[in-house]
Amino acid sequence: MKHLNLFSPIKIRGLELKNRIDFPGMGTFYTDDGGYVNDKFIHYHAARALGGTGLITTEATSVHAPSAPRNFLNISDDKFLPGLKKFTTAIHDAGAKVCVQLWQGGLTAPLFDPDVLRFIPSDITVDNLLGNPLPEPITFQGCAKEMIPEVEKAFGSAAKRAVEAGFDTMEFHLAHGYSPHAFLSPAFNHRTDEYGGSFENRARFPLECIQEIRRNIPDDMPLLMRIDAFDDYVENGLTIEDVISFCKLAKAEGVDVVNVSRGNPVSLGMKFEVPPIDLPMGYNVEYAARIKEETGLITIAVGRINEPNQAEKIIADGKADMVVMGRAQLADPEFCNKASAGNDDDIVRCIGCNQGCGSSPMTCTRNPAVGREWEYALQATEHPKKVVVIGGGMGGLEVAITLKQRGHEVVLLEESDRLGGQFYIAGLAPGKSEMKEAAISRGQQAIKAGIDVRLSTPATPELLDSLHADTVIIASGAHPIELNIPGKDLPNVLNSFEVLEGKVIPKGKIAVIGGGLVGLEVAEFVVDADKNNDVTVIEMLDEIGKDLASARRLCIMERIPEKNIHVKLGAKCVEITKDSVITSKDNLQDEVACDYVIMSVGSISNDTGALTAYCEERKIPYYVIGDAKKARKVIDAIAEAAEIARAV
């Protein structure tokens, strides 16, 4: 299937896009200090343009110099024009149209650069910023009225500069708690002058910004606007009816396209800005559909739209006119080319892990070349070798596929009867089936690439002798850590892998030792398996979920009380009995009654001594990578695999 609706052209005023896919603004932190374009920034975007997307949208681009964080893209002065012109030329040469996202960060800007001016409508007291709880609430002071025209003019000047720089269109950012959104929302705007109070007054500042932008761009240039469908997790926030009313006013002032997002930086709503795997795919599409129907605006849907068939159906069903597919194109910059050719099975899929896209600078678990596109461009080997890869987890698959792409002969040995390693097992946890599917898909891609994949095949000396390898890569993974405490060998003591794989289904009172990601997920797993299970997570640290990316942590922490999972913090497990776990805290012992104990205190590398000794005795070059080297996150294993595969 070639997804004919998704890859049909669309015309907006004088701009024609070759397909309905927008590669959106995402904070990369790639620019040079001060917000200047550099080659790294260009190569990153150009890779997605070459990959077939219709529209490239820059990350948030500062329009107002006094409030511009130094590590954000900037368009507030003519001094930025040379770099911006170089950027737009590169995107056009790569075959895409290009949009600049005009941004004034409001409350968020000083979080990234404490020296910048704060511009928010009124005093705001918050106890959570960008998903991080604060030791005590902080009050931010609202702006003086005299500043408002200055910022409005800055939007207009930036728009004029964008036209000169060669942008095809621009997007006015009115979402995520940034200043236009903050002025519009009664949750953030408590002013009593003509810019606050009634809906009409609160709409004044963003509408005046739109007027300034529209005055400074050609009539045939479309204007996009990013909005929140409504306000999440804040009192007295915008409703979808409010947003629809504002969109109609914005349309009258010259806005052509509305990009429907969600989220804000001061509440649990932050999880919607970079939505993790915990949120359903396409969770925001129905709100975009309603806004499209009631406003008549060309509408872009956003929110975990990762699959070609999913995106095609959204367009075909008339739910939206375009779709944002951002992280899908981080994971695979060739996403659009592959989907348009009907080669969906070749796509490396985003799985919403948020391990790389939530960091600064931005990376990607599935694609270590993000931000290193020029450096990591694959080079065919001039000296093909026979490489034996031991281990078919995600690191082993990454190194094997990359070596094959470079022209090496690759044999992959996997001791178990399936590929994907711990990533596959992680995909058995609640709401994480996309990880399991991604592991299966990557294995299938390895086989399709022509790699000699041998399952249920231990790497014995005899087999390795027969393969005559030039190089060996050991990616044999890790296994669960077993606490060395009395009672660890009792029959009611399990590890998290056994439970997630369904080898044992515990029932009754269950103690989970370890409050990291896997411990929390296995706790959810046993509750979902039987609502009558009574689960307690025992964690020796002062909080749970410390190893989680912020948005994932927000989601899981929200679910723990909803599922009545108990948490015992600061408690060290000292003994397991047939019906309890004994803990120690502040030299006082306590007891957690349980029928089963699930150990989930991390993993430790499998022993590679015999394999490394074999290679050293025969003078075969070898590498130990991924969890076999040191048990870490999957992003580390895949990144290491990608680096080694380019070095062989």
Q: Dihedrals φ, ψ of 623, to 5°?
A: -135, 140
Contacts of 618 (CB under 8 A, 6+ apart): none
Taking alpha carbons only, the member of 362, 345, 350 closest to residue 324 is 350
Taken in order 494, 500, 505, 506, the sign of the CA dihedral is positive
Enter the tokens of residue 340: 């348009």
Identity of residue 357: C
Give the single-character DSSP code of 117: P
Residue 130, Ramachandran bin (φ over 0: left; ψ between -120 and 50: alpha; else beta): left
State how far the Cα of 442 lies from the Cα of 45, in Å rounded to an integer. 25
| Measured torsion, CA atoms of residues 430, 436, 437, 442, in degrees rounded to the nearest 10 | 160
**Beta 223-228 vs 386-390: how paired, if at all?**
unpaired
Q: Give me the active site residues, please.
A: 178
Q: How far apart are CA 39 and CA 281, in angstroms?
A: 33
Rounded Cα distance, 216 and 234, in Å: 35
d(Cα 132, Cα 122) in Å, to the nearest integer?
Answer: 22
DSSP state at residue 141? P
Q: Which of 70, 177, 159 is nearest to 113 (CA)?
A: 70
Using alpha carbons, list the distances in angstroms from residue 580 to 313, 373, 512, 630: 52, 53, 11, 32
Which structure tokens are listed for 587? 């030299």
